Amino acid sequence: MRDTIPFMTRPSHRLMLSTAALFSLLVAMCLPAGAQTRSREIVCAACVHADMDFLASDAMHGRGSGTRDEHIAALYAASLLQSFGLQPLPGVALEDGGYVQRGTLPDPLPRGVLGYLKHLGTDAVPRPATWNAMGLLRGTSWKDSGPNQVILLTAHLDHLGMGTPVQGDAIYNGADDDASGTTAVLELARALSKGPRPKRSILFVLFGSEELGGYGDRYFLDHPPVPLTDIVTNLEFEMIGRPDSKLPQRTLWLTGYSRTDLGPMLAHHGAAISADPHPEQHFFRRSDNYNLALRGIVAQTVSSFGLHPDYHQPSDELSRIDFDFLTHSINSMVEPIRWLSNTTWKPSWVPHGKPNGKLLGGH
């Protein structure tokens, strides 16, 4: 999740893919033998732990935006999406068989971005590009010639990387921000790819360089793998690794809840979701969903960030994650999203709910 400051806020390629593919096979074995199809679709705690253990490990150096470590995270996510049987998106996602979209970053970065990176002590790190990982679950109504209806589920891969040490720790792991959201999208992809295909298609995307100002989502919008008019709605998952004390137990919140009819409808269909209890923080404008919303897409962020003091600190690490809450939160969204992917209902903006403004990204 971005700050409120003005700019808003490898191992070898083959080895990374092989390791992650083997990892996918191993974590899939956590499911009970002989379970019925419906049971296999329930998110397993071991899978969630495994994703988080990789993404937020010290070995990933905090997945700095636009760095080699962000690229490794994208390759990891892409290999999992491929292992779930999701379809590549050739022609736009040009790397790794159509599962990774390489985007450009401005050179030099805007002054505000560079100032913040200098504050963190990461301004000298090379940032050659940004990477989005993606995979498509084609619905039964999919037409190669279009038009189609697509549900877009997203999170951001990157975090702050290596920076100024705090109490001797220089790795900004980003376990909650946003390894938790990335894990949610990956495990939703695993669950929803099993069993009968939905009517609508579901596009799973993990954006890069959100922390620099949303450059991954901006590149996605300028080079969309599906027409933007095909996207029915977007749910971004951001910082769901710890509960918010302002909410009832095991409850998530949705940014911009009163702007659309999406939140109430998801709640009606079983999502433990409520309005954002922190309106003064303007979270609707502080994640990847906002740039999509400015293009007219009903796009909102699912979160449970309770303003904990580990935000953008090295202490945002695995030991602070409530894994029971995280696993339950992901699992609680499976059936509401399954319903959304099979209904003909479309979410819409309420009067005066659609935002007007500039795209985020270093301005």
Query: Which CATH number fits the domain that encloses residue 137?
Result: 3.40.630.10
Considering its fold, how many domains does the chain have in total?
1
> Residue 351 falls within a domain, yes or no?
no
- Cβ pair 299, 221 in contact under 8 A: no
Evaluated on CA atoms 109, 112, 118, 120, the torsion sign reads: negative
Record the tokens describing residue 186, joined without a space. 């990956």
Q: What is the pLDDT of residues 215-236, one digit of tens each?
A: 999 999 999 999 999 999 999 9
pTM score, whole prediction: 0.88
Compute CA 128 distance to the chain's CA centroid, rounded to the nearest angstrom. Answer: 22
> Residue 64 falls within a domain, yes or no?
yes
Beta strands, E only, 248-295: 252-254, 273-275
Residue 155 has pLDDT above 90, yes or no: yes
Q: What is the pLDDT of residues 74-131, one digit of tens each?
A: 999 999 999 999 999 866 767 778 999 999 999 999 999 999 999 999 888 999 999 9
- Cβ pair 362, 7 in contact under 8 A: yes
Rounded to 5 degrees, φ, ψ at 327 are: -65, -45
Residue 54 has pLDDT above 70, yes or no: yes
Which DSSP letter does residue 139 get?
Answer: -
- Cβ pair 31, 137 in contact under 8 A: no
> Residue 247 falls within a domain, yes or no?
yes
> Residue 88 falls within a domain, yes or no?
yes
CB atoms under 10 Å from CB of 183, counted, come to 31
Residue 248 has pLDDT above 60, yes or no: yes
Helix, strand, coil abundance in the chain, percent, nearest 5? 40, 15, 45
Check residue 11 and give left, alpha or beta (phi > 0: left; psi -120 to 50: alpha).
Answer: beta
Compute CA 161 distance to the chain's CA centroid, rounded to the nearest angstrom. Answer: 17
Residue from 217, 363, 223 nearest 301 by CA: 217
Domain that holds residue 87: 13-342
CB atoms under 10 Å from CB of 278, counted, come to 16
